[in-house]
Chains A and B, each alone.
Chain A
Amino acid sequence: MMLPSLLSSLILIPAVGALALLVLRGDDHKFIRGLSLGVATFEFLFSLLLLKKMDFSASGYQLEENFHWISAPPIHYHVGVDGLSVFLVILTTFLTAISVIASWNSIHERVKEFFVVLLMLEVGIIGVFLSLDLFLFFLFWEVMLIPMAFLIGIWGHGRKIYAAVKFVLYTMAGSILMLVGIIWLYNVTGTFDLPQIQQALQASPELLGKTVEIAQRNELLLFLAFFVAFAIKVPLFPLHTWLPDAHVEAPTAGSVILAGVLLKMGTYGMMRFCLPLFPHASREQRWWIVLLAIIGIIYGALVALVQPNLKKLVAYSSVSHLGFVVLGIFTFGTIGIQGAIYQMLAHGISTGALFLLVGMLYDRRHTFEISDYGGLATPMPKLSAFFLFVALSSLGLPMLNGFVGEYLILLGTYVTNWKWATWAATGVILSACYLLWAYQRVFFGEVTQEKNRALPDASWRERGILFAMAVITLWMGIGSAYFTRRTATAAETIRQEMMRAGDTMPQEAMSPSDGAGTKISLERSGNR
């Protein structure tokens, strides 16, 4: 192999970049911005290599690296990538590069520290997506906390410290529970290695307890320990209350990363750990998780509808959209899971773009209140065109990226339980309402405030970022087959892992969603 340590390099490049920034002189802001942009861009291009190197038809992890790190307890530096994580990694590197450009002019204080923190955040997130050792996963999961809290707490606005501390405490509460779960798993299986734990649990489901009954009860506890940590991160209703605060107070780059990738760590965790490791508990507990997801979809949309604050509106729309992802995951069918993966990527791009746009408005007017705007289409036609495009993609217009994910999820849900799909579909309608209504209030009508009359339109830098986002949005909408083909194996693997020795899938999840039905619908989505 030409590049034996591709994945480690992905983790190391931003870390080295951050270190270099740290020791270099901090006065020349131009140089610092340039260097971080260079590092972030290089990292993004480097991560694209993954697409070339990976074999998407094979199941299981690829490009694995496994080194011995600590002997007692046996902890390995074990990283690997599969169809589930590869696009999330690329999304992370892409959004980090975008964030660097987006923060070009809006960060004036402690510029050096800002970019150091941003790159460290990238290290943590990529580490989370690549770790195949539970301990390593936990380590990155925690490491990523501090940079994010700093981003919000130092460069945010308003009640930034409150928001930062709330963010950390929420996540910490979940992750400590997860640590107990990880240690418990280690206790019964004797390893932290994810593939090995998976094998051990598959081979003997009664490993968790002396009898099957105890095993199932313990499995439930373990499932909850992991699930709550992830649900806080997603965030699943009613654990979402940290999100609006964190988003509103965070700087634009922080919001983009937070919405774009950080939230996905939760749904990623559910797919990577909850479903394959605890299939029985996942099935048993599905009813309330789905219920919460649907409540989240509708509740998030309704709250977004009445938000006077533009950034909060986008934040609540994330709650709603992530509800779709959880719903898709817990259909347990290939289509639903694939839809969930797709929706994660689409949401990362379109919500990231929405936050960028909101940040651009804020840079000009220093307010998020919708009532302070109005009629902006006149002074800034280009920006408003981009905003409309992104809003349409976020509300799921066909041909744009948001549609594919929502469609697949609703399809997967429909074959599992048509009532769930019906309720969830109202979220799609509501998202059209709140996004278009907000768009109307901000950009259409007369210019109500004098200040808004002379606002400059998007600069070259801003247009560049937005154009890149728009192109990807369009491409993901039209060429969705490129992604679905590459995530199909991963989704199928998750579904198969849920079938443990001796377990039978309940009828509803078995029937039309797999087998022939899957293939047909995949081809359909491929041809679109």
Chain B
Amino acid sequence: MNNGMPTIVDLKLVLPELVWCGFAVFIMLLQPFLKNRHFFTFLALVGSLGGTVLSIVSGWNYGPGFSNLIRMDAFSLFFHLLVGAVAFLVILASETYLERENLDSPEFLALVLFATAGMGVLASAQELITAFIGLEMSSISSYILAGYRRDASKSSESSLKYFLLGSFATAFFLYGIALVYGATGTTMIDAMNAVNPANGWLKLGLAMILIGLCFKVAAAPFQIWTPDVYEGAPTPVTALFAAGPKAATFALLLRIFASVPAATHYWFWAFWVLAALTMFLGNLGALVQNNVKRLLAYSSIAHAGYILVAFAAVTYMAGEDPSTAARAYAAILFYLLGYALVKVGAFTIVSQLGGADEKHVSLDDYAGLGQRQPWIAAALSVFLLSLLGLPVTAGFFGKFYIFTAAVHSKLIWLAILMAVNSIIGSYYYLRLIVVMYMHEPKSEAAAAPVRFPVTASIVLWITVAGTIYFGLAPSRTLNFLLDQKSLIGSMR
């Protein structure tokens, strides 16, 4: 088709990634010459927003590019918008955080943009090596970001842990690709149709890919790293971890395991078990946490479990009933959207309330917040209720759609397990709400109201408004997701 040189069409398809990377490089180049934090933040904001908006332009050109290595479609457009928005919010929320913790902002911002570009690649990759590059771009930036508070030992521990375990998982992923290539003779995701799904090497390879990706989304039994990494990383970075890379990795997982027929039906039970295990380990772990960051980390494990329930539904129905499977895809995407908003908002509050060196992150520090800072407490309550799945929040509809998908796919038992987990989960979310509204503050130091800067307030307004908007009027978004006639199926 071409001689290896990218054409204009190709470039249009990676426009968002180009912008994100371009701004990142530009920021790094300017760093030695300029000292003004606000300027760099401004630049990064323009970059993240620009890339996000431009992904709509690439969205006008649905189709394959770079000799079919990537593909822009409704599915990847959705994820570009999602990770771009997350990056924008995280950058906005981190502005005062970096100043408070006395950390260099340009590198930080550049790394966030690089990570976002990697997630963008992950979302549109149609080929496993390309996906690997995307995964590494986002992972390596993440490792550095996790350890960005160099002076804090917890942060370094977080970074090292994430790096060691993460590389291990990447190795699994890479080895899986090699095996799949050996079995099928191709690394193109859409060219694997023809292969006999019972082929042992293919199964082994897909299992390894699954393990590698499950590590990245923190699915049990590969979730052990999550609480430590989430706790140690600077809180805005935790917000990014919980929302961005998770969503992008789920996107890749969905592309591989929902669109390759050879990979679908065989993996139903794997997803079933992963989902059940992840939900239980996440929720039970969260029950005993006294650190809000760790609590939210365990909750994000649990939420990965809920999303995997929808995966089980997708893989179960993909071969038999495409329309039901399409609903399950839509459920996953909607869930990720609501979940990302909530986690970014919640971690923003945690990062602001934490104070210098993130000292105030225990449950006791939140005692009496309802009286001290009613609006912040109200916002955090909205997020917690959304995580809990109460109406009228985005989390409610996310959970509702996943429930519906599971029941539609006749996975009644998994739906019941999910119900049981929702009840367990309600305990610890309510616990935090109870602490905020019904406990008296323990110490004088914790009782002083924390001033929220404008940037963080904007983030909160956006996330709260989004959470409630998607909880009141989910149809538009869902119709967009459903109209794309089984988002992934149509791509072949």
Contact = CB atoms under 8 A, between A and B. Distances in A.
B322 interface: no
Interface string B57-91: 00000000000000000000000000000000000
B390 interface: yes
Count chain A CB atoms within 10 A of each CB in B403, B427, B430 and give the residue with the most: B430
B473 interface: yes
Contact of B423 (A70, A110, A172): A172
A180 B419 contact: yes
A110 B371 contact: yes
A150 interface: yes
A186 B404 contact: yes
A71 B477 CA distance: 11
A169 B391 contact: no
11 contacts: A70-B475, A72-B475, A146-B390, A164-B434, A173-B423, A180-B403, A180-B412, A180-B416, A183-B403, A183-B404, A186-B404
A154 interface: yes
Interface string B460-489: 000000000000011100110010000000
A35 interface: no
Contacts of A161: 434, 438-439
A73 interface: yes
B392 interface: yes
Interface in A199-223: none
B415 interface: yes
A483 B264 CA distance: 61
Nearest to A160: B438
B250 interface: no
Contact of B407 (A154, A172, A183): A183
A187 B407 CA distance: 7
A163 to B, nearest CB: 11
Contacts of A107: none
Interface string A160-175: 1100110011001100
Interface string B390-416: 111000000010011001100010011
Given A145-B390, A146-B385, 5 more contacts: A72-B478, A139-B392, A142-B391, A165-B430, A187-B407
Contacts of B371: 110
A71 B330 CA distance: 14
Contacts of A183: 400, 403-404, 407, 415
Interface string A66-89: 000111110000000000000000
Nearest to B483: A72
A184 B403 CA distance: 10
Nearest to B434: A161
B438 A153 contact: yes
In order of increasing CB-CB distance, the 6 nearest A-B pairs are A176-B419, A139-B391, A71-B475, A70-B475, A153-B438, A183-B407
A399 interface: no
Contacts of B479: 71-72
A179 B419 contact: yes
Count chain A CB atoms within 10 A of each CB in B371, B390, B419, B478 and give the residue with the most: B419
Contacts of A436: none
Interface in A456-514: none
A176 B422 contact: yes
A380 interface: no
A147 to B, nearest CB: 12
B116 to A, nearest CB: 30
B85 to A, nearest CB: 23
Contacts of A69: 475
B442 to A, nearest CB: 15
Interface of A: 69-73, 110, 138-139, 142-143, 145-146, 149-150, 153-154, 160-161, 164-165, 168-169, 172-173, 176-177, 179-180, 183-184, 186-187
B404 to A, nearest CB: 5
A73 B473 CA distance: 12
A104 B199 CA distance: 76
Contacts of B416: 180
A179 B418 CA distance: 11
A184 B392 CA distance: 21
Contacts of A149: 430
A142 B407 contact: no
Contact of A70 (B426, B437, B473): B473
A177 B419 contact: yes
Interface in B422-446: 422-423, 426-427, 430-431, 434, 437-439
Nearest to B401: A73
A73 B431 CA distance: 32
Contact of A168 (B391, B404, B426, B482): B426
A169 B400 CA distance: 19
B325 to A, nearest CB: 15
Contacts of A150: 437
B302 to A, nearest CB: 15
B261 to A, nearest CB: 26
Contact of B391 (A143, A177, A186): A143
Interface in B377-394: 385, 390-392
Contacts of B422: 172, 176
Nearest to A218: B412
A528 B177 CA distance: 84
Nearest to B391: A139
A154 B437 contact: yes
A149 B390 CA distance: 14
Nearest to B390: A142
Contacts of A70: 473-475
A169 B423 contact: yes
A161 B435 CA distance: 9
B456 to A, nearest CB: 22
B408 A187 contact: yes
B434 A179 contact: no
Contacts of A146: 385, 390
B403 A179 contact: yes
Given A73-B404, A177-B419, A180-B419, A168 B430 contact: yes
A72 B423 CA distance: 26
Interface string B17-34: 000000000000000000
Contacts of A177: 419
Contacts of A153: 434, 437-438
B423 A184 contact: no
B426 to A, nearest CB: 5
A15 to B, nearest CB: 12
A382 B400 CA distance: 54
Given A110-B371, A154-B438, A183-B404, A176 B392 contact: no
Nearest to A174: B423
Contacts of B385: 146
Nearest to B438: A153
Contacts of B415: 180, 183
B257 to A, nearest CB: 24
A180 B411 CA distance: 11
Given A146-B385, A153-B437, A169 B473 contact: no
B376 to A, nearest CB: 15
Contacts of A110: 371
Contacts of B434: 153, 161, 164-165
A70 B391 CA distance: 14
A183 B404 CA distance: 6
A145 B423 CA distance: 14
Contacts of B426: 168-169, 172
A172 B438 CA distance: 20
A190 B434 CA distance: 38
Contacts of A187: 404, 407-408
A462 to B, nearest CB: 28
B403 A164 contact: no
Count chain B CB atoms within 10 A of each CB in A150, A154, A183, A184 and give the residue with the most: A183
Contacts of B427: 165, 169
Contacts of A154: 437-438
A145 B385 CA distance: 12
A234 B263 CA distance: 49
B482 to A, nearest CB: 6
